[in-house]
Amino acid sequence: MKDDKDHVITMAHGAGGELMGKLINDLILPLFKSEMGEIPLSDLDDSAVVEDIVITTDGHTVKPIFYPGGDLGSISVAGTVNDLLAVGAKPLALTGALILPEGVLMNDIKRILSSAAETCRKAGVSVVAGDTKVVEREDLDSPLMTTTGIGKRHPLMDKNMERAGERRTNWLSDNNLKDGDKIIVTGTVGDHGITILSEREGYGFQGKVKSDVAPLVDVMESALKVGGVASAKDPTRGGLANSLNEIASKSDVGIEVEEDKIPIKDWVRNAGELLGIDPLTIGNEGKFIMAVESSMAEEILEALKKTENGKDAAVIGEVKKDIDGVILKTEVGGTRILEPPVGDPVPRIC
């Protein structure tokens, strides 16, 4: 007889790891699988492309709703904008929906919406439609927000793809990696997940914690201006480890990553060690993983470092067709398999 966990949804099913992938592939895709468009639903990429329209949708449930560096409003906008950017789109507009528990403070909702509006301004997008629902307090413990983003092909994409060489697609798709590509991460990893856990549990860590939530318009545009970007990924739930495994699997290649090249803030590393959490498996909300043409890597890196949100960017590895999965070269000179997490160690982070 199967364990009860095989018959019920657990927190891990929404955490971006293996269980979430199983839920999507076993339950959702068989009912809704579609091959419509240049990037169809079945690709499970950051956004879909249908008749030259780029579209993505996100549900956001973060606890607490306010934390250092962000809140429910900013993460809702930034997360959706970044998903559009990640496939090579220029974000144009958003729709949004609020689901509110009765009794929530009106000032808290105003604060969330003000933050969302400010993030829209930073990203250069407008909210063009929306919806609001209120439910009984016993049915919902905090506000939820859903957002849908609409974009079009970025004007810099054609020149960028010319410099990326021969690829499977003409978008920054997950399946666009090839042997020899360099892997860039556009900043320090683990900031958001550790911040959420710290605020939720009251750890504090000397007040250094701050989420990386940000719309990455400057980062993507600077890279596209140089050209040679083949793929981009927003490493949210499941973190760097999950995203690297995802793009390696979809591209039928392996990735070798050097541990000492991965940028991690000291407070993130120290907090992770204290809490028993690997910063490579925890969510980020202001970073991209990029696979780039090897010959363009240093020029792209130089451009990223000149941006507000890319100053800590680093080349962390290389795509290799003769290995399987993701291999981490450790700081002490060994190697280990960097496996995707079963689920994010910190649920409800985005």
The CA–CA distances, whole Å, from 236 to 45, 86, 105, 137, 347 equal 13, 12, 29, 29, 12
Strands laid side by side in the 314-320 sheet: 229-233, 289-292, 182-185, 314-320, 254-258, 326-329, 335-337
**pLDDT on residue 1:** 40
Q: Is the pLDDT of residue 101 over 70?
A: yes
CA distance 140 to 134: 9
Alpha-carbon Rg of the chain, whole angstroms? 19
Vertex 99 angle, CA 97 and 103, to 5°: 140
Does residue 66 sit in helix, strand or coil? Answer: strand
Q: Is the pLDDT of residue 14 over 90?
A: no
Among 306, 307, 326, which residue's Cα sits nearest to residue 317? Answer: 326
Written as six digits, the tokens of 186 are 């556009």
Residue 345 main-chain phi, psi, to 5 deg:
-65, -15
What pTM was estimated for this model as a whole? 0.93
**pLDDT on residue 130:** 97
Reported confidence tier of residue 17, pLDDT bands at 50, 70, 90? low
Higher pLDDT, 274 or 298: 298
Residues 285 and 75: beta-carbon distance below 8 Å: yes
The mean pLDDT of 183-199, rounded to a whole number, is 95
Residues ≥6 apart with Cβ < 8 Å to 304: 184, 186, 219, 222, 223, 310, 311, 313
Q: pLDDT tens-digit profile of 341-350?
A: 876 667 788 8
> Residue 302's CB: how many other CB atoms inside 10 A?
12
What the chain holds in terms of domains, given with CATH numbers, is 4-337 (3.90.650.10)
